[in-house]
Chain A
Amino acid sequence: MTIQRVNKDNKNAISFYWNGKLLKGKKGDTLSAALLANNKLFIARSFKYHRPRGITSSGVEEGALVTLGKNASTEPNVNPSTTELYNNLEAFSQNAWPSLYFDFGYILNFLSKFFAAGFYYKMFIGIPPFEWGKGTSAWMFFEKYIRKIAGFGKASRQKDPSDYDNLNSFIDILVIGSGPSGINAALSASKAGFDVMLVEQDFELGGNYLNHQNKHKLNLLKEQLLKYHVKLKTRTTAFGIYDDKCVALVEKFDPSQISKNKIRQRLHICRAKKIILATGAIERTYAFGNNDLPGIMTVNAGKSYLNRYKILVGKKIIISTNNDSVYETALELNNAGANVVILDARAQLSNSQNNLIKNSNIRLLLNTVVHRALGKKCVKLVETAKEKNSKWQKSIRINCDCLLISAGWSPVIHLAAPHSEKPVWSHEQACFLPGKNNQDIIFVGSAAGIWNTLNCEKSGNIVNENKLNQKSEKNSVLPLFQTPINNNKSKNFVDFQHDVTISDIKLAHQEGFTSVEHLKRYTTLGMASDQGKNGNIIGLAIMGSALNKEINEVGTSKFRPPYTPVTIGALASRNKDEGFKLMRRTPFHEWNKTKNCVMIETGLWQRPWFYPFESQKLEDASCNEVKITRKNVGICDVSTLGKIMLQGPDASIFLDNIYINSFSKLSVGKARYGIMLRDDGFILDDGTVWRISEDCYLITTTTNQAGIVMSWLEELSQVRWPDLQIHLTSVTDQWAGCAIAGPKSRKVIEQLAINKEEVSDENLPFMGVKKLKIETIECLIARISFSGELAYEVYIPSDFANSLIEKIWEEASNFNGCLYGSEALGTMRIEKGHVGGSELDGRVTVDDIQLNKMISKKKSFIGNTLRLREGLIKPGRPRLVGIFPIDKNSKFKSGGLLYTSEKISGYPIGWVTSATYSPMMGHYIGLGFIENGLDRSINEEIILIDKLKSIKIPVDIVSPQMYDPEGKKLNV
């Protein structure tokens, strides 16, 4: 094949690299065009048989794949015919070792008899007689080698360095495709006053206009698009239309502009009232011997490379066809200097086609098709077959350096598939036409089976009052899907990317896999990155003839998006790194950072974990914090707790309905600990409720359950009890929460109040609540304790948090206080036996944690019925206990399992839910559950086993209230 550029000037030259070698292309080339211009016919090795392959098309139906880029930017399995060439692009061939030209894998071509369809299923069923029918050891052995040999490109294991963006758009009319019908549709809609967006997957507008020799009409239309303010997006592929006509598109940025801000692609979700599919049609080939040789392409590719890229694909071109569309192209190729022979499968031509070529030296052979192509690394010779007296027989051989095939056109109807009925096979057009679909999705142009350019332009006039006659055109096509004489000597390919041949399809039929969905999966026809754009219909036709059925009886497999491959980075778009999970910060965040605080992620919160002094580690720092807090005073940021304001005359009734204990009798200015259950009787959450006024309560929840509880309470208030007059508002962000705990905490609070008396033991008793003005800012203060010390929680309006905390900290420092984080907070509450999220894991009842005394006998509440199910109240159920190691130097963690020394295997009798080193007890302590709880015999030996951490130690079961069990410290 001798390919050459038609105009040999050096304008707009671009450098690029192919397999490491520097080559020159032009601006506006695709990678395929640039490779062809450099006479690179042979650019890939096929998937299974490692046969030499070249460029087969100029669009999305391409059979050859390449790898772009290196290292972290490696992109395998890229279609070179839709890849825009840019300066310093690096491209590599794939699936060949050690090199493209000398590939060891080519041996497989000679063993191909063993690799027919269904090879894996039939081969690896087990080594007889040991594993006959059930073995996989042979497969496990061979799999590694098979993976190395059969395959496409290799993906990089490194992190994708590019950024991906997002976009939403709302538009009246979305036109997909900027060819003759698309551009005219966009203009007609825009002129009628609609908001229009026109998207085009190519980097140039024009669609099929770009393949015409004369671009004058296209240029005029482009000017009109600008004049009528049509929103234009090139390099944008609509890859799927999802529920409710939501169109998903991926925009690729101009590769020459990318380094500026790292964004490579953008995921664009478009909602349009109407979607116009001007997606055109793809030219088909047919199967004949060695039809995968480099140098064999579609006729449209020949036309496109000539008229758009100014490349003449051969000097001795053979065109094989069954329809009229090739004649104009044949003439253009001839005029450009090529010797052209046309093989037409039909018996006669129409006058117009005849007139086109009669004054040229184009040789025409009717009733002729290709039987076999021959050549080593590219096509050199074609064996034809001719029909005589209704019988096909081998005919003459013709030399060539390029073979162009046109066996019909398939409208691109994929995008509408989820919204339409099955596509309809048109016998006269030899193609599938769109089935009946959603009325807001309209096909125009070739996608609707209209072929003539002028008719396509007319079909774009969608706003026309006259109901469009979208009937497809007459087209004299002779169905041609495979060479008519059986060819057992060479392979006849149906799917280039997966190396599926005619014999594979016949084999599937022979073995009973005749349904179209089975055919697809058994042979892997249409399952590669081109998704059968060329091969599917050929496969169906072959299966049809084997079954003696029409194509429409065989059917099509279901099309699923994306239409062309989409990189996962684009689908993730901004949802990576920080964007994956947006974090919440407490109002004290900045201030905490100045105090050297280390944060931990709790759900979506960044929560203070510990405050290390110099290079202290977690355990040392938190133990220090516990000691100082229990000795003097400690300050803790508790803003992450959920806070819900409950207002309204029926607030008390609502609370009584949701908590196990009573709240209607709670006095104003008092707080109470409450537990709420789910419908099924298990504990949902616990927290404190503060009665701020007659009709106003502040409900606190745990950090992790805040969102769930809020939705749950709203559901109860709107769905189940809509007549209750209440309002629920989340105020988690409104208030910054600061716990002040320790024997000296009152002294600190006294310094914050205007008058010391306000916060005396009498005026602010245990579980008391009141408003407190600190530096004229009205805050809320409650005397409640999670740590077991004398403690207060101060709620400050968030915008004043950063400054008031300075005052609080200054006062606390005067009493030798410290800051403590969630680790120390956890240690202290475990020492006191207070349950937390690890205990209340959704499988625990009130009885299990020994708080049944809290349950009110005077009222009903959510969960009160189902909590009395047999299984939830049976004796022996695991109950909350404390755990001490017998050897005071032992360590253990939560997740450990408890067993009696007599039975140390199987299902445990208990488990550890929380564990910590206790500075107050001087050893590790834990909370957990064990059958029969504290009623177990004290003399029994209990063993704690943690297989993940290789721990096996004897432990004592003790009361969960481990430190200050009488609670004396609450009232110092």
Chain B
Amino acid sequence: MYKYLKRTNALDTYLTQGINNNATIFFSIEREIKIQQIGTWHKNFNEVVNYLNSFITNSDCAKHGLVNLGKNFCIIRNEPLRWWIMGDSDKIISSLNTENAVNLDISHSWVKLNISGLNSEKLLLHHIPLDLRDKKFPIFNFKSSSIHNIGVKLLKNQKGYSLFLPRSFSVSIWKQLIKTADQYQYQIN
């Protein structure tokens, strides 16, 4: 019997859920996220790209910032020689050729905050100096940026945005975001 086996999120005590019928912004935390980082070198780049592409149809794991969707995972080329695999990545990691690449579990380093609703884009523009218009930031794309000089990552999907906050800064950033959200009507799911 594992009495102490409980996974808590950095923002758990700060998100008081409630219903707001006039809400134009919706916040929610995705708990128990899984992120595996894969890194390779220039010599092995093409092999690794082909390897990753083999898990998804119609994808291009070499394209920067594209969210390549698999059944219950996605692959994103996050840095020139590194990818994030979010979700169920066991198969990809277990048959990864360790001569070509290295992998690292970073699931606990980030907090995934989902922001959706009519004014979600407006809210983000208060803090993030990124062009969020669809023509510059299409759906299923991933970009890095900063809030108050702290590096964050942003993913745009069909529901809205997912904001990845570094775990240790997540409470401070959350407090700034919620202060700005006071200008709009919001709801925490």
Contacts and interface: CB of A to CB of B under 8 A. Distances in A.
Contacts of A727: 39, 81-82, 102, 104
A586 B167 CA distance: 9
B18 interface: no
B37 A729 contact: yes
A200 to B, nearest CB: 20
A695 B182 CA distance: 49
A590 B4 contact: no
Contacts of A583: 169, 172
A170 B169 contact: no
Nearest to B99: A649
A620 B138 CA distance: 59
A787 B4 CA distance: 28
A799 B9 contact: yes
B13 to A, nearest CB: 6
A709 interface: no
Nearest to B172: A582
A732 B169 CA distance: 12
Given A170-B131, A729-B37, A733-B108, A579 B102 contact: no
Contact of B148 (A582, A799, A803): A582
Contacts of B10: 585, 587, 798-799
Given A170-B131, A582-B173, A775 B5 contact: yes
A193 B30 CA distance: 38
A734 interface: yes
B172 A584 contact: yes
Contact of B167 (A574, A582, A587, A729): A587
A750 interface: no
Contact of B183 (A170, A261, A696): A261
B3 interface: yes
Interface stretch (B50-58, B62-70, B121-129, B155-163): B121-129
A648 interface: yes
A871 B16 CA distance: 61
B168 interface: yes
A803 B6 contact: yes
A777 interface: yes
Contact of B108 (A579, A585, A590, A799): A799
Nearest to A729: B104
B20 to A, nearest CB: 16
A167 B167 CA distance: 25
A798 B167 contact: yes
A585 B39 contact: no
Which among B2, B4, B104 has the highest number of chain A CB atoms within 10 Å? Answer: B4
B71 interface: no
Contact of B126 (A167, A586, A648, A800): A167
A3 interface: no
B166 interface: yes
Interface in A549-595: 574-575, 578-579, 582-587, 589-590
A776 B2 contact: yes
A168 interface: yes
B183 A807 contact: no
Interface string B5-29: 1111110010000000000000000
Contacts of A734: 105-109, 167
Contact of A165 (B4, B13, B41, B183): B183
A725 interface: yes
The B contact surface, by secondary structure, is loop
B136 A803 contact: no
A537 B136 CA distance: 45
A269 interface: yes
Interface string B105-118: 11111100000000
Contacts of A349: none
The A contact surface, by secondary structure, is mixed
Contacts of A725: 41, 43
Interface residues of B, number: 50
A797 B108 contact: yes
A806 B4 contact: yes
B133 interface: yes
A582 B128 contact: no
A271 B131 CA distance: 9
Given A166-B126, A579-B176, A803-B6, A733 B109 contact: yes
Nearest to A647: B102
A776 B5 contact: yes
A807 B4 contact: yes
Contact of A170 (B43, B110, B136): B136
A274 to B, nearest CB: 15
A452 to B, nearest CB: 37
Contacts of A860: none
A582 B150 contact: yes
A732 B126 contact: no
A170 B126 CA distance: 12
B129 to A, nearest CB: 5
A587 to B, nearest CB: 7
B180 interface: yes
Contacts of B126: 165-168
Given A166-B127, A798-B167, A775 B172 contact: no
A813 to B, nearest CB: 14
Given A725-B41, A727-B102, A729-B37, A804 B4 contact: yes
B150 A167 contact: no
A263 interface: yes
A905 interface: no
Contacts of A800: 5-8
A731 interface: yes
Contacts of B6: 800, 802-803
Nearest to B37: A729
A808 to B, nearest CB: 9
B180 to A, nearest CB: 7
B176 A586 contact: no
A731 B172 CA distance: 19
A169 interface: yes
A696 B104 CA distance: 10
Contacts of A797: 107-108
Interface string A694-732: 011000000000000000000000000000010101011
A246 to B, nearest CB: 10
Contacts of A271: 131
Which among A590, A727, A731, A775 has the highest number of chain B CB atoms within 10 Å? Answer: A727
B171 to A, nearest CB: 6
A909 interface: no
Nearest to A778: B105
A731 B136 contact: no
A645 B150 CA distance: 20
Contacts of B5: 775-777, 800, 803
A390 B169 CA distance: 77
A798 B183 contact: no
Contacts of B180: 165, 574
A735 B148 CA distance: 24
A884 to B, nearest CB: 39
A408 to B, nearest CB: 41
Interface string A581-612: 01111110110000000000000010000000
In the A-B complex, the 8 residue pairs with the closest CB atoms:
A170-B131, A727-B39, A584-B168, A582-B172, A733-B167, A647-B102, A798-B108, A803-B6
Given A269-B129, A734-B108, 20 more contacts: A168-B128, A168-B129, A263-B183, A578-B176, A582-B148, A589-B171, A648-B102, A727-B102, A729-B104, A731-B104, A733-B109, A733-B166, A734-B167, A776-B5, A797-B107, A797-B108, A798-B108, A799-B10, A803-B4, A804-B4
22 contacts: A170-B133, A271-B131, A574-B127, A574-B148, A574-B180, A578-B172, A583-B169, A584-B172, A585-B168, A647-B102, A647-B104, A695-B102, A729-B37, A729-B104, A731-B109, A733-B168, A734-B105, A734-B167, A775-B5, A799-B8, A803-B5, A804-B4
Interface of A: 165-170, 195, 261, 263, 269, 271, 574-575, 578-579, 582-587, 589-590, 605, 645, 647-648, 695-696, 725, 727, 729, 731-735, 775-777, 797-804, 806-807
